[in-house]
Amino acid sequence: MRAVRMHGYKQPLLLEDVPIPDIAADEVLLKVKAAGMCRTDMQLVDGYFAKYAHSTFPLTPGHEIAGEIDKVGSLVAKGGRFSEGDLVVVVGGWGDGTCRLCQKGDTHICVHGRWPGFGPYGGYSEYLPVPERYLIKVDKRFNLKPEELAPLTDAGLTPYRGIKKLRDAGALGPGRILAVFGIGGLGTYGVQYAKLMSGGSKIVAFARNDEKLAIAKDYGADYIVNIQGKSTDAIRKELSQGVGQGELDAVIDCAGAEDMIALGFSLLAPGGHYASVGLVGDRINLPLFPFVAREYTYHGSFWGNYNDLCEVMSLAEQGKIRHTLKLGKLENVNEYIDLLRGGEIVGRAVITL
């Protein structure tokens, strides 16, 4: 089979011919139909995660995966939940199954877990082995395309979990302002979830790109703010004129840039909640007194679990999620990595096979 492989940090990815992998009794062999391209893939290549986790090369990137089952292991066949030809999406975080986090369903943050796309097998290949318990079947009656499904496993999942945290913390509702920071691969979905899940909050999208902000407006944002070159005071005044108040009750940050985090907290209202899901930067530097005195709550939110993705897939099957996609092939991977590095992709890049 063909697979795009990474042989070291800060090196171009190589498209190579490699053996089709074997599968264990509790796995399926998945024929990949589409793989979303995440900024995380670019960061993996650039060595962003080197100080946090060891990588063994060669590895195959790609953790947003949709495809069809090509072969099932013996235990999978006995269970009867999946069969050859089924259309499925892959849940990203594969836990050890025994720890406290796994027992409550949060396998994606298991400290002994593994993730497709960060080891020998990933979505930038024609086939990969996947444990049965990390597959979700997609009903073909809804005519959902693999290139639409693949991004939902991260870009469409990560902001969903973050907004759930804001909702469950009581940060959303009528008379509240919910901001979506960064209208990239995650933010285009984040705006839609904000509108669906915020209980009547006004949705304000923040970005530096007018084309991306136009998409946010089309996807349900009540107000948009281009922050390029503007001071915090100017942005606060624009907010007051546009939505009636100069502060934000909640933020879902789909960028994670250090300057945007600083901006977000400078605009946060007393008792406000901030959920970070983006990873553009690598540090947080916040003044402590307003954080304590104004009783802010900061939520870290990473990816999503099996149940979160089931909920996202249900929304997709109901036709409640729209997509902005840039499609390519395995041969385009390095070109698209460069575009990700420059922030030049509008929406989500997806490799189709």
CA contacts within 13 A on the Cβ side of 258: 6
Q: How far apart are alpha carbons 316 and 220 in whole angstroms?
A: 16
Reply yes or no on whether the pLDDT at 52 is more than 90.
Answer: no
CA distance 290 to 138: 46
- Express each pLDDT in 118-164 by its tens digit: 999 999 999 999 999 999 999 999 999 999 999 999 999 999 999 99
- What pairs with residue 60 in β-bridges? 119
* Residue given tokens 């007194």 in the structure block: 289
pLDDT tens per residue, range 218-260:
999 999 999 999 999 999 999 999 999 999 999 999 999 999 9
Q: Which residues pair with 14 in a beta bridge?
A: 5
Name beta bridge partners: 175. Answer: none
CB contact at 8 A, 84 and 23: no
- The tokens for 128 are 């990969």
Confidence of residue 54 (pLDDT cuts 50, 70, 90): confident
Strand-pairing partners, residue 5, are 14
Let me know if 292 is exposed, middle or buried by CB neighbors in 10 A (0-12, 13-18, 19+): exposed
Distance of CA 236 to the CA centre of its chain: 29
Domain 2-154+304-352 belongs to what topology?
A: Quinone Oxidoreductase; Chain A, domain 1 (3.90.180)
User: 210-221: per-residue pLDDT in tens?
Assistant: 999 999 999 999
104's tokens: 């409550």
The answer to whether 166 and 275 are in contact (CB under 8 A) is yes
In angstroms, rounded to a whole number, what is the distance separating the alpha carbons of residues 10 and 23?
31
Find the mean pLDDT for residues 11-26.
97
d(CA 267, CA 271): 12
CATH class of 158-300: alpha beta
Position 51 confidence tier, pLDDT thresholds 50, 70, 90 = confident
At residue 53, the pLDDT reads: 83
pLDDT at position 281: 86
Q: What is the pLDDT of residues 298-312, one digit of tens each?
A: 999 999 999 999 999
Q: Which two tokens stand for residue 63?
A: 């953790």
For residue 184, the SS3 value is: coil
Q: What is the mean pLDDT of residues 73-99?
A: 95
Instruction: Name the average pLDDT for the chain.
Output: 96
- d(C-alpha 223, C-alpha 127), whole Å: 43
Q: Where are the domains of the chain?
A: 2-154+304-352, 158-300
Q: Distance between CA 338 and CA 215 in Å, rounded?
A: 23
CB crowding 198-231: b at 16 or more within 10 Å, else e: beebbbbbbbbbeebbebbbebbbbbbbbbeeee
* DSSP calls for 236-292: HHHHHHHHS-SSEEEEEESS--HHHHHHHHHHEEEEEEEEE---S-S-----HHHHH
Cis peptide bond upstream of 61, omega within 30: no
Whether residue 45 contacts residue 340, with contact meaning beta carbons closer than 8 Å, is answered with no
Structure token digits, residue 319: 């036709």
Burial (Cβ within 10 Å: 0-12, 13-18, ≥19) of residue 37: buried
Strand, helix or coil for residue 351: strand
Task: Convert the pLDDT of each residue in 329-343 to its tens digit.
Answer: 999 999 999 999 988
